[in-house]
Amino acid sequence: MDYAATTPVDPRVLRVLLPYFSGKFGNTMSLHSFGQEAKQALEESREVVADLMKAKPKEIIFTSSATESNNLALKGVAFANRNKGRHIIISQIEHPCIMECSKWLEKEGFEITRLPVDKHGLVNPKDVEKAIRKNTILVSIIHASNEIGTIQPIKQIGEAIKRKSEILNLKSKIYFHTDAVQSFAKIPIEVKKMNIDLLSASSHKMYGPKGAACLFVREGTKIEPILHGGGQESSLRSSTVNVPAIVGFAEACKIAKREMKKETQRITRLRDKLIKGVLEKVPDSYLNGHSEKRLFNNANFSFSFVEGESIVIQLDLLGIAASTGSACSSAKLEPSHVLLAIGLKPQEAHGSLRLTLGRWTTEKEINYLLKVLPGIIKRLREISPFKK
Ligand SMILES: Cc1ncc(COP(=O)(O)O)c(C=O)c1O
Protein backbone atom coordinates (compact mmCIF):
# COMPACT_ATOMS: atom_id res chain seq x y z
CA MET A 1 0.00 0.00 0.00
CA ASP A 2 2.77 2.36 -0.96
CA TYR A 3 2.18 2.79 -4.69
CA ALA A 4 2.82 6.55 -4.44
CA ALA A 5 6.46 5.82 -3.57
CA THR A 6 7.00 3.67 -6.63
CA THR A 7 5.21 0.99 -8.66
CA PRO A 8 6.30 -2.37 -9.99
CA VAL A 9 6.89 -2.49 -13.74
CA ASP A 10 3.79 -3.93 -15.41
CA PRO A 11 4.77 -7.31 -16.98
CA ARG A 12 3.30 -6.04 -20.30
CA VAL A 13 5.69 -3.08 -20.12
CA LEU A 14 8.64 -5.29 -19.25
CA ARG A 15 8.02 -7.52 -22.27
CA VAL A 16 8.12 -4.55 -24.65
CA LEU A 17 11.20 -2.85 -23.22
CA LEU A 18 13.50 -5.87 -22.73
CA PRO A 19 14.71 -6.18 -26.38
CA TYR A 20 16.10 -2.62 -26.17
CA PHE A 21 18.72 -3.71 -23.62
CA SER A 22 20.56 -6.07 -25.94
CA GLY A 23 19.34 -6.80 -29.49
CA LYS A 24 18.10 -3.25 -30.14
CA PHE A 25 20.76 -1.47 -28.10
CA GLY A 26 21.71 1.35 -30.51
CA ASN A 27 22.58 4.94 -29.65
CA THR A 28 19.88 7.25 -31.06
CA MET A 29 22.60 9.59 -32.36
CA SER A 30 24.29 6.91 -34.53
CA LEU A 31 23.74 7.03 -38.28
CA HIS A 32 23.86 3.27 -38.80
CA SER A 33 20.79 1.05 -38.72
CA PHE A 34 21.20 0.11 -35.02
CA GLY A 35 21.10 3.79 -34.13
CA GLN A 36 18.19 4.49 -36.45
CA GLU A 37 16.20 1.61 -34.97
CA ALA A 38 16.68 3.13 -31.49
CA LYS A 39 15.87 6.61 -32.82
CA GLN A 40 12.63 5.34 -34.32
CA ALA A 41 11.63 3.71 -31.00
CA LEU A 42 12.43 6.99 -29.23
CA GLU A 43 10.30 9.08 -31.58
CA GLU A 44 7.39 6.63 -31.44
CA SER A 45 7.59 6.76 -27.64
CA ARG A 46 7.54 10.56 -27.76
CA GLU A 47 4.29 10.45 -29.75
CA VAL A 48 2.66 8.09 -27.24
CA VAL A 49 3.68 10.12 -24.16
CA ALA A 50 2.60 13.38 -25.86
CA ASP A 51 -0.74 11.84 -26.77
CA LEU A 52 -1.60 11.06 -23.13
CA MET A 53 -1.44 14.77 -22.25
CA LYS A 54 -2.62 16.08 -25.67
CA ALA A 55 0.72 17.75 -26.42
CA LYS A 56 2.74 17.81 -29.64
CA PRO A 57 5.51 15.16 -29.76
CA LYS A 58 8.21 17.84 -30.16
CA GLU A 59 7.06 19.38 -26.86
CA ILE A 60 8.16 16.28 -24.89
CA ILE A 61 11.71 16.29 -23.48
CA PHE A 62 12.77 12.96 -21.99
CA THR A 63 14.77 13.10 -18.76
CA SER A 64 15.94 10.54 -16.19
CA SER A 65 13.55 11.43 -13.36
CA ALA A 66 10.87 13.90 -12.36
CA THR A 67 13.40 15.43 -9.97
CA GLU A 68 15.43 16.27 -13.06
CA SER A 69 12.34 17.47 -14.97
CA ASN A 70 11.37 19.77 -12.08
CA ASN A 71 14.93 21.12 -11.80
CA LEU A 72 15.01 21.73 -15.55
CA ALA A 73 11.65 23.51 -15.45
CA LEU A 74 12.54 25.82 -12.57
CA LYS A 75 16.21 26.51 -13.23
CA GLY A 76 15.77 26.46 -17.00
CA VAL A 77 12.96 29.02 -17.04
CA ALA A 78 14.52 31.10 -14.24
CA PHE A 79 17.86 31.52 -16.00
CA ALA A 80 16.43 31.99 -19.49
CA ASN A 81 14.09 34.75 -18.28
CA ARG A 82 16.14 36.43 -15.56
CA ASN A 83 16.47 39.63 -17.54
CA LYS A 84 12.68 40.03 -17.46
CA GLY A 85 12.26 39.36 -13.74
CA ARG A 86 13.39 37.24 -10.84
CA HIS A 87 10.16 36.44 -9.02
CA ILE A 88 8.84 32.84 -8.85
CA ILE A 89 5.68 31.56 -7.16
CA ILE A 90 5.31 28.04 -5.73
CA SER A 91 3.02 26.53 -3.07
CA GLN A 92 3.90 25.46 0.46
CA ILE A 93 3.05 21.82 -0.36
CA GLU A 94 5.44 21.11 -3.23
CA HIS A 95 7.56 17.98 -3.45
CA PRO A 96 11.03 18.38 -1.87
CA CYS A 97 12.65 18.66 -5.33
CA ILE A 98 10.69 21.86 -6.03
CA MET A 99 11.20 23.14 -2.46
CA GLU A 100 14.97 22.56 -2.50
CA CYS A 101 15.38 23.84 -6.05
CA SER A 102 13.57 27.04 -5.04
CA LYS A 103 15.84 27.45 -2.01
CA TRP A 104 18.85 27.14 -4.33
CA LEU A 105 17.38 29.71 -6.74
CA GLU A 106 16.87 32.06 -3.79
CA LYS A 107 20.63 31.86 -3.13
CA GLU A 108 21.18 32.70 -6.80
CA GLY A 109 19.23 35.94 -6.39
CA PHE A 110 15.68 34.88 -7.31
CA GLU A 111 12.75 35.78 -5.07
CA ILE A 112 10.35 32.98 -4.13
CA THR A 113 6.75 33.36 -2.90
CA ARG A 114 5.43 30.22 -1.21
CA LEU A 115 1.64 30.30 -1.30
CA PRO A 116 -0.35 28.87 1.62
CA VAL A 117 -3.10 26.27 1.15
CA ASP A 118 -6.44 25.78 2.93
CA LYS A 119 -7.14 22.97 5.42
CA HIS A 120 -7.76 20.53 2.54
CA GLY A 121 -4.48 21.42 0.86
CA LEU A 122 -6.00 23.54 -1.91
CA VAL A 123 -4.28 26.56 -3.45
CA ASN A 124 -6.72 29.41 -4.10
CA PRO A 125 -6.35 30.76 -7.68
CA LYS A 126 -7.13 34.24 -6.26
CA ASP A 127 -4.02 33.98 -4.07
CA VAL A 128 -1.97 33.19 -7.19
CA GLU A 129 -3.44 36.25 -8.91
CA LYS A 130 -2.68 38.47 -5.90
CA ALA A 131 0.91 37.22 -5.64
CA ILE A 132 1.78 37.93 -9.30
CA ARG A 133 3.85 41.05 -9.86
CA LYS A 134 5.44 42.78 -12.83
CA ASN A 135 8.64 40.83 -12.30
CA THR A 136 7.03 37.38 -11.95
CA ILE A 137 8.41 34.93 -14.51
CA LEU A 138 7.16 31.52 -13.34
CA VAL A 139 4.42 29.87 -11.27
CA SER A 140 4.89 26.22 -10.27
CA ILE A 141 2.07 24.41 -8.46
CA ILE A 142 1.92 20.67 -7.85
CA HIS A 143 -1.04 19.02 -9.62
CA ALA A 144 -1.83 16.32 -7.06
CA SER A 145 -0.15 16.08 -3.68
CA ASN A 146 2.09 13.06 -3.22
CA GLU A 147 1.24 13.07 0.48
CA ILE A 148 -2.45 13.92 0.90
CA GLY A 149 -3.63 13.39 -2.69
CA THR A 150 -5.38 16.77 -3.03
CA ILE A 151 -5.90 17.76 -6.68
CA GLN A 152 -5.38 21.45 -7.44
CA PRO A 153 -7.63 23.58 -9.68
CA ILE A 154 -4.87 23.77 -12.29
CA LYS A 155 -7.03 25.15 -15.12
CA GLN A 156 -8.32 27.96 -12.89
CA ILE A 157 -4.81 28.78 -11.67
CA GLY A 158 -3.70 29.04 -15.31
CA GLU A 159 -6.63 31.37 -16.03
CA ALA A 160 -5.73 33.51 -13.01
CA ILE A 161 -2.16 33.86 -14.33
CA LYS A 162 -3.43 34.97 -17.75
CA ARG A 163 -5.94 37.40 -16.22
CA LYS A 164 -3.34 39.09 -14.00
CA SER A 165 -0.84 39.27 -16.89
CA GLU A 166 -3.45 41.20 -18.87
CA ILE A 167 -4.28 43.51 -15.95
CA LEU A 168 -0.58 44.28 -15.48
CA ASN A 169 -0.23 44.60 -19.26
CA LEU A 170 2.84 42.37 -19.20
CA LYS A 171 4.80 42.12 -22.45
CA SER A 172 6.47 38.83 -21.55
CA LYS A 173 4.74 35.60 -20.59
CA ILE A 174 4.51 34.24 -17.05
CA TYR A 175 5.13 30.52 -17.45
CA PHE A 176 3.02 27.98 -15.59
CA HIS A 177 4.63 24.68 -14.55
CA THR A 178 2.94 21.81 -12.77
CA ASP A 179 4.48 18.76 -11.13
CA ALA A 180 2.05 16.08 -12.33
CA VAL A 181 4.04 13.08 -11.13
CA GLN A 182 1.21 11.65 -9.03
CA SER A 183 -1.64 12.54 -11.40
CA PHE A 184 -0.26 11.76 -14.88
CA ALA A 185 -1.74 8.51 -16.21
CA LYS A 186 -4.23 8.50 -13.32
CA ILE A 187 -6.49 11.39 -14.26
CA PRO A 188 -7.05 12.90 -17.73
CA ILE A 189 -4.67 15.77 -18.51
CA GLU A 190 -4.86 18.13 -21.47
CA VAL A 191 -2.02 20.62 -21.27
CA LYS A 192 -3.46 23.23 -23.63
CA LYS A 193 -6.98 23.16 -22.16
CA MET A 194 -5.53 23.35 -18.65
CA ASN A 195 -3.30 26.36 -19.51
CA ILE A 196 -0.11 24.48 -18.63
CA ASP A 197 3.23 25.57 -20.17
CA LEU A 198 5.46 22.99 -18.51
CA LEU A 199 4.58 19.64 -16.91
CA SER A 200 6.69 16.97 -15.20
CA ALA A 201 5.81 13.25 -15.20
CA SER A 202 7.69 10.14 -14.10
CA SER A 203 7.55 6.58 -15.46
CA HIS A 204 8.18 4.70 -12.19
CA LYS A 205 5.01 6.08 -10.59
CA MET A 206 2.82 4.59 -13.33
CA TYR A 207 4.04 1.01 -13.81
CA GLY A 208 6.95 1.93 -16.06
CA PRO A 209 10.65 1.51 -15.21
CA LYS A 210 12.79 3.87 -13.14
CA GLY A 211 15.18 6.05 -15.13
CA ALA A 212 12.64 7.63 -17.48
CA ALA A 213 10.57 10.77 -17.05
CA CYS A 214 9.60 13.76 -19.13
CA LEU A 215 9.12 17.49 -19.15
CA PHE A 216 6.44 18.91 -21.41
CA VAL A 217 7.69 22.27 -22.68
CA ARG A 218 5.11 24.22 -24.62
CA GLU A 219 6.36 25.37 -28.04
CA GLY A 220 7.91 28.84 -27.79
CA THR A 221 8.82 28.62 -24.08
CA LYS A 222 12.07 30.39 -23.23
CA ILE A 223 14.10 27.80 -21.33
CA GLU A 224 17.79 26.97 -20.93
CA PRO A 225 19.28 23.50 -20.48
CA ILE A 226 20.95 22.49 -17.24
CA LEU A 227 22.92 19.71 -18.95
CA HIS A 228 25.10 20.78 -21.89
CA GLY A 229 26.63 18.31 -24.32
CA GLY A 230 25.79 16.42 -27.50
CA GLY A 231 22.50 18.20 -28.14
CA GLN A 232 20.03 15.37 -27.59
CA GLU A 233 16.38 16.20 -26.80
CA SER A 234 16.37 19.45 -28.80
CA SER A 235 19.55 20.48 -26.94
CA LEU A 236 17.53 20.78 -23.72
CA ARG A 237 18.83 17.56 -22.20
CA SER A 238 22.14 16.31 -23.55
CA SER A 239 23.01 12.71 -22.62
CA THR A 240 22.76 9.41 -24.44
CA VAL A 241 19.08 8.62 -24.38
CA ASN A 242 17.86 5.76 -22.15
CA VAL A 243 15.86 3.99 -24.85
CA PRO A 244 14.73 0.85 -22.92
CA ALA A 245 13.33 2.94 -20.07
CA ILE A 246 11.64 5.41 -22.44
CA VAL A 247 10.09 2.59 -24.50
CA GLY A 248 8.76 1.19 -21.21
CA PHE A 249 7.47 4.62 -20.16
CA ALA A 250 5.54 4.87 -23.44
CA GLU A 251 4.09 1.37 -23.10
CA ALA A 252 2.91 2.28 -19.59
CA CYS A 253 1.19 5.35 -21.11
CA LYS A 254 -0.57 3.16 -23.70
CA ILE A 255 -1.90 0.86 -20.97
CA ALA A 256 -2.99 3.83 -18.84
CA LYS A 257 -4.90 5.33 -21.76
CA ARG A 258 -6.75 2.06 -22.36
CA GLU A 259 -7.42 1.16 -18.74
CA MET A 260 -7.64 4.47 -16.85
CA LYS A 261 -11.42 4.54 -16.56
CA LYS A 262 -11.82 0.96 -15.37
CA GLU A 263 -8.87 1.20 -12.98
CA THR A 264 -10.17 4.45 -11.51
CA GLN A 265 -13.54 2.84 -10.73
CA ARG A 266 -12.01 -0.29 -9.20
CA ILE A 267 -9.47 1.47 -7.01
CA THR A 268 -11.83 4.28 -5.95
CA ARG A 269 -14.18 1.66 -4.52
CA LEU A 270 -11.36 0.00 -2.58
CA ARG A 271 -9.97 3.34 -1.39
CA ASP A 272 -13.42 4.45 -0.15
CA LYS A 273 -13.89 1.17 1.68
CA LEU A 274 -10.47 1.68 3.28
CA ILE A 275 -11.22 5.26 4.38
CA LYS A 276 -14.66 4.38 5.78
CA GLY A 277 -13.31 1.31 7.56
CA VAL A 278 -10.37 3.10 9.19
CA LEU A 279 -12.43 6.08 10.37
CA GLU A 280 -15.10 3.74 11.80
CA LYS A 281 -12.78 1.25 13.46
CA VAL A 282 -10.09 3.57 14.88
CA PRO A 283 -11.16 6.19 17.43
CA ASP A 284 -9.49 9.63 17.15
CA SER A 285 -8.57 9.12 13.51
CA TYR A 286 -8.87 11.77 10.79
CA LEU A 287 -8.60 11.84 7.02
CA ASN A 288 -6.09 14.42 5.74
CA GLY A 289 -6.73 16.16 2.42
CA HIS A 290 -9.94 16.79 0.49
CA SER A 291 -12.79 14.25 0.65
CA GLU A 292 -13.55 14.49 -3.11
CA LYS A 293 -10.81 16.47 -4.84
CA ARG A 294 -8.25 13.78 -4.16
CA LEU A 295 -6.40 11.10 -6.09
CA PHE A 296 -8.46 7.93 -6.35
CA ASN A 297 -5.67 5.82 -4.84
CA ASN A 298 -4.70 8.00 -1.87
CA ALA A 299 -5.75 7.79 1.78
CA ASN A 300 -3.82 9.81 4.36
CA PHE A 301 -4.78 9.56 8.02
CA SER A 302 -3.78 11.19 11.28
CA PHE A 303 -4.05 9.14 14.46
CA SER A 304 -3.89 11.05 17.73
CA PHE A 305 -1.35 10.02 20.40
CA VAL A 306 0.82 7.78 18.15
CA GLU A 307 3.77 8.24 15.80
CA GLY A 308 3.46 7.39 12.11
CA GLU A 309 6.88 5.69 12.05
CA SER A 310 5.80 3.21 14.73
CA ILE A 311 2.66 2.35 12.75
CA VAL A 312 4.73 1.84 9.58
CA ILE A 313 7.11 -0.52 11.42
CA GLN A 314 4.26 -2.52 12.96
CA LEU A 315 2.52 -2.83 9.57
CA ASP A 316 5.78 -3.89 7.96
CA LEU A 317 6.11 -6.72 10.49
CA LEU A 318 2.75 -7.95 9.21
CA GLY A 319 3.81 -7.70 5.56
CA ILE A 320 2.11 -4.39 4.76
CA ALA A 321 4.15 -1.62 3.10
CA ALA A 322 2.94 1.86 4.08
CA SER A 323 4.44 5.30 4.52
CA THR A 324 4.21 8.29 6.82
CA GLY A 325 4.54 10.83 4.03
CA SER A 326 6.49 10.89 0.82
CA ALA A 327 9.23 8.28 0.34
CA CYS A 328 11.79 11.04 -0.16
CA SER A 329 11.17 12.69 3.19
CA SER A 330 10.07 9.79 5.36
CA ALA A 331 13.65 9.23 6.51
CA LYS A 332 13.60 12.69 8.13
CA LEU A 333 12.30 13.03 11.65
CA GLU A 334 10.72 16.43 11.03
CA PRO A 335 6.95 16.46 10.58
CA SER A 336 5.69 16.70 7.01
CA HIS A 337 5.72 20.26 5.64
CA VAL A 338 2.50 19.40 3.78
CA LEU A 339 0.62 18.41 6.93
CA LEU A 340 1.90 21.50 8.74
CA ALA A 341 0.74 23.63 5.78
CA ILE A 342 -2.83 22.29 6.06
CA GLY A 343 -2.84 23.37 9.69
CA LEU A 344 -1.94 20.24 11.65
CA LYS A 345 0.04 20.73 14.87
CA PRO A 346 3.50 19.06 14.80
CA GLN A 347 2.27 16.32 17.16
CA GLU A 348 -0.71 15.55 14.89
CA ALA A 349 1.51 15.59 11.82
CA HIS A 350 3.79 13.03 13.47
CA GLY A 351 0.86 10.61 13.74
CA SER A 352 0.20 10.38 10.01
CA LEU A 353 -0.06 7.33 7.78
CA ARG A 354 -0.21 7.37 3.98
CA LEU A 355 -1.78 4.37 2.27
CA THR A 356 -1.69 4.41 -1.53
CA LEU A 357 -3.39 1.74 -3.62
CA GLY A 358 -2.53 0.48 -7.07
CA ARG A 359 -3.03 -1.88 -9.97
CA TRP A 360 -2.57 -5.04 -7.91
CA THR A 361 -4.26 -4.01 -4.65
CA THR A 362 -7.04 -6.47 -3.83
CA GLU A 363 -10.13 -6.35 -1.63
CA LYS A 364 -8.54 -9.10 0.47
CA GLU A 365 -5.60 -6.79 1.20
CA ILE A 366 -7.92 -3.95 2.25
CA ASN A 367 -9.78 -6.35 4.57
CA TYR A 368 -6.47 -7.51 6.06
CA LEU A 369 -5.35 -3.93 6.69
CA LEU A 370 -8.71 -3.11 8.30
CA LYS A 371 -8.36 -6.18 10.50
CA VAL A 372 -4.89 -5.44 11.85
CA LEU A 373 -4.66 -1.64 11.96
CA PRO A 374 -7.08 -0.94 14.87
CA GLY A 375 -5.14 -3.33 17.14
CA ILE A 376 -1.80 -1.77 16.18
CA ILE A 377 -3.03 1.75 16.98
CA LYS A 378 -4.58 0.55 20.27
CA ARG A 379 -1.33 -1.12 21.39
CA LEU A 380 0.78 1.87 20.40
CA ARG A 381 -1.55 4.20 22.29
CA GLU A 382 -1.21 2.09 25.43
CA ILE A 383 2.52 2.79 25.52
CA SER A 384 2.32 6.34 24.14
CA PRO A 385 3.57 9.24 26.28
CA PHE A 386 1.01 11.46 24.44
CA LYS A 387 -2.09 9.43 25.32
CA LYS A 388 -5.09 11.13 26.91
C1 LIG B 1 4.96 14.85 -6.68
C2 LIG B 1 6.32 14.30 -6.95
N3 LIG B 1 7.22 15.05 -7.61
C4 LIG B 1 8.45 14.61 -7.90
C5 LIG B 1 8.86 13.36 -7.51
C6 LIG B 1 10.24 12.90 -7.85
O7 LIG B 1 10.15 11.97 -8.88
P8 LIG B 1 11.38 11.04 -9.31
O9 LIG B 1 11.40 9.92 -8.34
O10 LIG B 1 11.05 10.59 -10.71
O11 LIG B 1 12.60 11.89 -9.25
C12 LIG B 1 7.98 12.54 -6.79
C13 LIG B 1 8.42 11.23 -6.29
O14 LIG B 1 8.14 10.87 -5.15
C15 LIG B 1 6.67 13.01 -6.53
O16 LIG B 1 5.77 12.27 -5.86
Non-local CB neighbours of 283 within 8 Å, separated by 6+ positions: none
Ligand 1 mean position, distance from CA 210 (Å): 11
- Lay out the sheet containing 298-303: strands in order across: 285-288, 298-303, 352-356
Which tens digits make up the pLDDT trace of 25-47? 999 999 999 999 999 999 999 99
Under 8 Å between Cβ of 372 and 320:
yes
For residue 323, give the DSSP letter.
B
Ligand 1 mean position, distance from CA 2 (Å): 14
Give me the pLDDT at residue 335, please.
Answer: 87
**What dihedral angle (degrees, nearest 10) is formed by the CA atoms of 223, 176, 354, 336?**
80
Segment 83-98 mean pLDDT: 98
**Least confidently predicted of 133-142, 320-329, 367-376:** 320-329
In this structure, the residues whose C-beta lies within 6 A of any atom of ligand 1 are: 65-67, 95, 97, 142, 146, 179, 181-182, 202, 213, 326-328
Active site (annotated) includes residue 328: yes
Give me the pLDDT at residue 347, please.
Answer: 85
Reported confidence tier of residue 330, pLDDT bands at 50, 70, 90? low
Which tens digits make up the pLDDT trace of 189-230? 999 999 999 999 999 999 999 999 999 999 999 999 999 999
**Least confidently predicted of 82-86, 128-132, 312-316, 334-338:** 334-338
| Degrees to nearest 5, angle at CA 349 with 348 and 350 | 90
Candidate list 97, 101, 214, 328, residue with the active-site label = 328
Ligand 1 mean position, distance from CA 151 (Å): 16
Which residues on neighbouring strands pair with residue 111, listed in sequence order?
87
H or E stretch at 46: helix 33-52
Which tens digits make up the pLDDT trace of 246-288? 999 999 999 999 999 999 999 999 999 999 999 999 999 999 9
Reported confidence tier of residue 385, pLDDT bands at 50, 70, 90? confident
Average pLDDT for the chain: 96
C-alpha distance from residue 301 to each of 16, 186, 359 (Å): 38, 21, 21
Does position 327 have pLDDT exceeding 60, yes or no?
A: no
User: Ligand 1 pocket test: which of 146, 246, 324 has the largest number of ligand atoms within 8 Å of its C-beta?
Assistant: 146
